[in-house]
């Protein structure tokens, strides 16, 4: 059985259209549409249905082509793990944008460097976010949702006990979120159970 070329496309948002990637793989690499697998999921998620299906059908000697490395994964550890597995299984990998052919020694070196740089960029971004939050806290600003006003919460609980309004109406009147109200009701029930024992 002769080696086959497969395509893999990933789009991350529901409103995105895969046609640009599909057209490129079909036009530039001669891959038939039925041989291209498409995922509509974040690149940070390792488990992807179409990619899992692709891995069931390709065989030793086959080639997988993608538009760019970011289509396979945005995490360098996941990318390297996947491509290491493919290499062991005898699967070639080509990334069009980076002009990277994983079957060559140079390609493997470049892939490792690109993956490391990609992870470095993500780590730097995370560090900047953490530093920004720390700086904001030092100035007295705390992130997250504002704390619920106790008087509003008590009013919400009274309205709930009166059974005169729906949960939706209570949250609109008091501006107390459903999750806060439900937590308060649960805490009150637990307290009642303890005192009644």
- Tell me the H-state helices in the chain: 19-29, 49-57, 69-72, 76-88, 105-138, 150-162, 167-174, 178-196
Helix crossing, 167-174 with 150-162: angle to 10°?
150
Question: Could you give the CA distance from residue 93 to residue 89 in angstroms, rounded to a whole number?
Answer: 12
Sign of the four-CA dihedral 27, 32, 34, 35: negative
Q: Is 38 helix (H, G, I), strand (E, B) or coil?
A: strand
Question: Could you give the CA distance from residue 116 to residue 164 in angstroms, rounded to a whole number?
Answer: 60
Question: Could you give the CA distance from residue 15 to residue 7 in angstroms, rounded to a whole number?
Answer: 21
Residue 91 · residue 62 · CB < 8 Å: yes
> Does the annotation mark 12 as catalytic?
yes
Pairing of strands 5-11, 100-101: unpaired
Q: Which of 2, 12, 115, 118 is catalytic?
A: 12
- Which residues are tagged catalytic? 12
């Amino acid at each position: 059985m002769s080696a086959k070329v497969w395509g893999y496309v990933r789009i991350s948002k529901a409103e995105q259209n895969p046609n640009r990637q599909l057209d490129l793989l079909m036009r530039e690499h001669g891959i038939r549409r039925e041989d291209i697998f498409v995922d509509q999921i974040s690149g940070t998620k390792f488990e992807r249905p179409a990619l899992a299906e692709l891995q069931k059908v390709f065989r030793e000697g086959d080639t997988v082509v993608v538009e760019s490395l970011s289509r396979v994964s945005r995490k360098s550890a996941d990318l390297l793990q996947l491509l290491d597995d493919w290499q062991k299984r005898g699967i070639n990998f080509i990334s069009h944008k980076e002009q990277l052919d994983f079957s060559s020694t140079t390609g493997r070196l470049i892939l490792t460097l690109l993956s490391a740089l990609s992870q470095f960029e993500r780590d730097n971004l995370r560090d900047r976010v953490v530093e920004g939050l720390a700086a904001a806290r030092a100035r007295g600003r705390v992130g997250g949702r504002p704390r619920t006003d106790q008087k509003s919460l008590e009013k919400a609980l009274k309205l709930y006990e009166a059974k005169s309004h729906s949960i939706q109406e209570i949250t609109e009147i008091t501006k107390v979120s459903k999750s806060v109200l439900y937590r308060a009701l649960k805490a009150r029930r637990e307290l009642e159970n303890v005192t009644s024992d």
